[in-house]
Amino acid sequence: MKLPYAEPFKIKMVETIKTTTREEREEWIKEAQFNLFKLDSDKVFVDLLTDSGTGAMSDKQWAEVMTGDESYAGSRSFTTLKNTVKELLGFEYFLPTHQGRAAENVLFSAMIKEGDVVPGNSHFDTTKGHIEFRKARAIDCTIDEAFDTKAIHPFKGNLDLEKLDTVLKANPKERIPFTLITITNNTAGGQPVSMQNIREVSELCSKYEVPVFFDIARFAENAYFIKTREEGYANKSIKDIVKEIFTYGEGATMSSKKDGLVNIGGFIGLKNEELYRKATTFNIMFEGFITYGGMAGRDMAALAQGLREATTFEFLESRIGQVKYLGEKLLEYGVPVQEPFGGHAIFVDAKRFLPHLPQNEFPAQTLGIELYIESGVRGVEIGTLLADRDPETRQNRYPDLELLRLAIPRRTYTQNHMDYIAAALKNVYDRRNEITQGFEIEYEAPIMRHFTVELKRKETVSLNVLA
């Protein structure tokens, strides 16, 4: 008999999570104006809002916390982290920041000017925000397959070289500070980018003398997919693959809250001394002195250890295996999900789940609310609410993908929790035809509305159902 999967760790400390009743949840979500961000965490049973900063640290990381060096300048923990980043990722120059978007703020202050364009593969929201805040444009060059949840492609996070070439051709190199490769491509569903694509993007960009930078929040998960899916990499170690990735670029911004296996932190890695010097000034202004950059010494020490653990095959196989386990269970129950499964999350396709709800009634949000009421599981909408309104016309933007993201925190939940989530979604799926009302907005902020939006149930049964 083939031995079943078992988590490659045992648990030393437990945190109780409260079970709640359906009646309580119905009341609480109403009080939260049907916004999942407004729920207190003790009203949530399994929290899949994000995999960012929600993972469990190892005993070795906690040991590092106890011996971290809190010196303002020249902290030993800083040196350990800097050397670890150099050894694992190959970057000579290193600046710590308090999280990923802070790294973007510092690096982009040094590199992006008004009127610039930054091509890439589905820039993350904060990344796009930091580009647009500087009156520059983020241009999405992701391959078309990424926008079809049923299309099977091993590297759906890839950049389309023709789309990229068009952008590089249409703009002078002085207007393109860099091309940004996000690994994995979170927005497209935690989908990886192949080594071949990274190499070809790098070759194309060097023809136009445009440097390549990376957003590396989930770089280790990306390396796992290269090892397990790309020809020629099966026998290479994760660490070797990671090293090769960064030979194709000039630098990176990192949100350490994901593949750094810590609860807060970020950094910038660079190869060029002049750029490092320029970024250093902004780091000191926005983050802190260069040997802590907004992080406690103990957190830098724990991060160095976290990066080592995240770049082992054993960790990644268990982590991505757990996500896959959930995805397979959902497929077995007929629940429509993005395929292939992403590295950090399962994305449920709300357009296929609730085809009778029009997109202006927020089907992915409706599904998220139903799942919460059913089970206390909290996911997050990646759809029309998140897409905001067009800044000029003020009309709702309707994205191609209307998804409910179930992001799995690292080393936090067990296989039983995965079974629970899958059963809860199955129950909602079985009664999908009874979900005839979506939601309408009562209050919304002018941008980033999803965080604070207030909703109410649509009073009438939607027309799609009657038709």
Residues from 36 through 75 that contact ligand F0G (CB under 6 A):
50, 52
Give yes or no: 279 in active site. Answer: no
Catalytic position from the list 43, 123, 258, 329: 258
What is the C-alpha to C-alpha distance for residues 386 and 327, in angstroms, rounded to an integer?
23
Query: CA triplet 399, 145, 259: central angle to 5 degrees?
Result: 80
Q: Which stretch binds ligand F0G (CB under 6 A): 93-101, 199-207, 317-325, 433-441?
A: 93-101
Give yes or no: 173 in active site. Answer: no
Cβ proximity to ligand F0G, 171 vs 186, nearer residue = 186
| The only residue of 54, 61, 127, 375 in contact with ligand F0G, by rule CB under 6 A | 127
Helix axes 76-89, 238-247, angle to 10 degrees: 80
Indicate the burial class of 200 (C-beta count within 10 angstroms; 0-12, 13-18, 19 or more): middle
CA distance between the termini of the chain: 52
Token digits for 268?
């910038």
Cβ proximity to ligand F0G, 188 vs 435, nearer residue = 188
Helix ranges (H only) for 333-414 are 350-353, 363-375, 384-387
- Per-residue contact track with ligand F0G, 222 to 261, x per CB under 6 A? ---------------------------------x-x----
Q: In the 3-class helix/strand/coil scheme, how is 151-195 assigned residue by residue?
A: CCCCCCCCECHHHHHHHHHHCCHHHCCCEEEECCECCCCCECCCH
Q: Which stretch binds ligand F0G (CB under 6 A): 123-131, 305-313, 329-337, 447-455?
A: 123-131
Give yes or no: 208 in active site. Answer: no
| The only residue of 69, 215, 309, 402 in contact with ligand F0G, by rule CB under 6 A | 215
Catalytic position from the list 215, 259, 299, 349: 215
Q: C-beta of 134: minimal distance to ligand F0G in Å?
A: 16
Burial per residue of 256-273, b for 16 or more beta-carbon CB atoms within 10 angstroms, e otherwise: bbbbbbbbbbbbbbbbee
Give yes or no: 292 in active site. Answer: no
Q: Counting contacts by CB under 6 A, is residue 291 touching ligand F0G? A: no
Query: CA triplet 199, 216, 228: central angle to 5 degrees?
Result: 60
Give yes or no: 72 in active site. Answer: yes
Q: Counting contacts by CB under 6 A, is residue 365 touching ligand F0G? A: no
| The only residue of 84, 99, 149, 158 in contact with ligand F0G, by rule CB under 6 A | 99
Q: How many Cβ atoms from other residues are within 10 Å of residue 367's Cβ? A: 28
Give yes or no: 217 in active site. Answer: yes
Give yes or no: 214 in active site. Answer: no
Q: Which stretch binds ligand F0G (CB under 6 A): 6-14, 94-102, 273-281, 309-317?
A: 94-102
- Contact in structure between 230 and 70 (CB atoms under 8 Å): no
What is the C-alpha to C-alpha distance for residues 391 and 128, in angstroms, rounded to an integer?
14
Q: Counting contacts by CB under 6 A, is residue 191 touching ligand F0G? A: no
Q: C-beta of 31: minimal distance to ligand F0G in Å?
A: 24
| Site residues, ligand F0G (CB under 6 A) | 50, 52, 99-101, 124, 126-127, 182, 186, 215, 217, 255, 257, 266
